[in-house]
Copies of this chain bind each other. A is one copy, B any other.
Amino acid sequence: RGDGGEVPEIAVIEGDGIGREVVPAAVEVLEAVGDYTFTEGEAGDATLDETGEALPAETYELAASADATLFGAAGESAADVILPLREAVGSFVNIRPARAYPGVDALRPETDVVFLRENTEGVYAGHEDRLTDDVSTLTRVVTKTASRRLGEFACEYVEERGKNGFTVAHKANVMRETDGLFRDTVLATADEAGVDADTVLMDAFATHVCLDPEQFDVVVCPNLAGDVLSDLAAGLVGGLGLLPSANVGSERGLFEPVHGTAPDIAGEGVANPSATILSAAMLVESLGDDDAGARIRSAVEGVLSDGPRTPDLGGEATTREVTDAVLARL
């Protein structure tokens, strides 16, 4: 794909809120760097209102068959959209790089952490029950298979990128069987691959990443830990507006900003498209076009550093102006 002559098909799912503004911006960037066909799919709160389903079957099928999917954000129905979509593309890992950018006000500008979040189980595979009026339960699931797959991915990831190793975040002192299995299995893959790995309790990580983010590089986490700890890192680098993510692992990926629909500014044309454009960079890399990925990234970095900037970064520019500035730098 991508180099075999066939034009890759990209599924485009804007969703709700600022998804409708930042995804079109990223599509313009994709059009500028490569030859792709785009197929639109509907999902989210508006789709739920219209069709009775937040994620219609045809959108699921579209993501399941396209070469890659670009997703924006969904409102109240987010979990009903994004969780099945991650499954539709067969993803088992959510890559969430959190770094600060020159020129962007960040609490901890030295933060540069990549989260490799388990994407299929934990509480997300949860079977919940309301046993009685008083008692509810959720069965959290951790398997050796999923932990090993993630560990092997992490080993390849650090080797390809010339990283020194990774840290496993966990809460195995309380969740002994489940997080114990996760931690030990991931560590075993590192040992087999000759990759350095250490461990940190997820609560201790929350303190230490604030005090000294430079001690962390690649952090391998169970599903919910990865959700919360990457959002924490977002707070350290200046907000969710800059964080891209890639749901990968199988032959097709799903790429999405870490931010949500931002109802407070939706429709005003001032949403920051950077996270989605950076997600598009991860998308083209997944299709084998590392050059295009690097070009997009450097264009976004240039704009973040020199402006124009959207209001979330203290500027007054519109989504349109920022997108044009990125396009001009490609």
Binding site for B on A (CB under 8 A): 78-79, 83, 107-108, 123-124, 126, 128-130, 133-145, 171, 173-178, 180-181, 202-204, 206-211, 224, 227-229, 231-232, 234-236, 238-240, 260
Tell me if B207 and A123 are in contact (CB < 8 A).
Answer: no
Tell me if B211 and A175 are in contact (CB < 8 A).
Answer: no
Set B141, B171, B176, B238: member contacting A224, Cβ < 8 A: B171
CB contacts (< 8 Å) of A232 on chain B: these are 206-207, 210, 232
**Seed contacts A126-B174, A129-B177, A135-B142; 13 additional CB < 8 Å A-B pairs:** A83-B174, A107-B108, A107-B211, A135-B143, A136-B142, A136-B180, A137-B142, A138-B139, A138-B178, A139-B139, A140-B140, A206-B232, A206-B235
18 interchain pairs (CB within 8 A)? A79-B174, A107-B107, A123-B171, A124-B174, A133-B144, A134-B143, A134-B145, A136-B141, A136-B142, A138-B139, A138-B175, A204-B260, A206-B228, A206-B234, A207-B239, A208-B235, A210-B232, A210-B236
Nearest-CB residue, chain B, relative to A145: B134
**Distance (Å) between the CB of A261 and the closest chain B CB?**
12
Tell me if B136 and A177 are in contact (CB < 8 A).
Answer: yes
CB contacts (< 8 Å) of A181 on chain B: these are 130, 136
Asked whether A209 and B235 contact (CB < 8 A) given A139-B137, A141-B137, A177-B136, the answer is: yes
Set B137, B178, B204, B234: member contacting A128, Cβ < 8 A: B178
CB contacts (< 8 Å) of A207 on chain B: these are 231-232, 234-235, 239-240
Give the CA-CA distance A133 to B138 in the complex, in Å: 21
Asked whether A173 and B128 contact (CB < 8 A) given A143-B134, A231-B206, the answer is: no
Give the CA-CA distance A295 to B138 in the complex, in Å: 45
Give the CA-CA distance A21 to B124 in the complex, in Å: 42
**Distance (Å) between the CB of A47 and the closest chain B CB?**
17
CB contacts (< 8 Å) of A175 on chain B: these are 123, 126, 128, 138
- Among A134, A171, A174, the one with the most B-chain Cβ atoms within 10 Å of its Cβ is A174
Give the CA-CA distance A138 to B83 in the complex, in Å: 21
Asked whether A211 and B224 contact (CB < 8 A) given A108-B107, A145-B134, A173-B79, the answer is: no
Give the CA-CA distance A122 to B207 in the complex, in Å: 22
**Distance (Å) between the CB of A313 and the closest chain B CB?**
12
CB contacts (< 8 Å) of A211 on chain B: these are 107, 235, 238-239
Give the CA-CA distance A83 to B175 in the complex, in Å: 13
- Among A83, A209, A238, A240, the one with the most B-chain Cβ atoms within 10 Å of its Cβ is A240
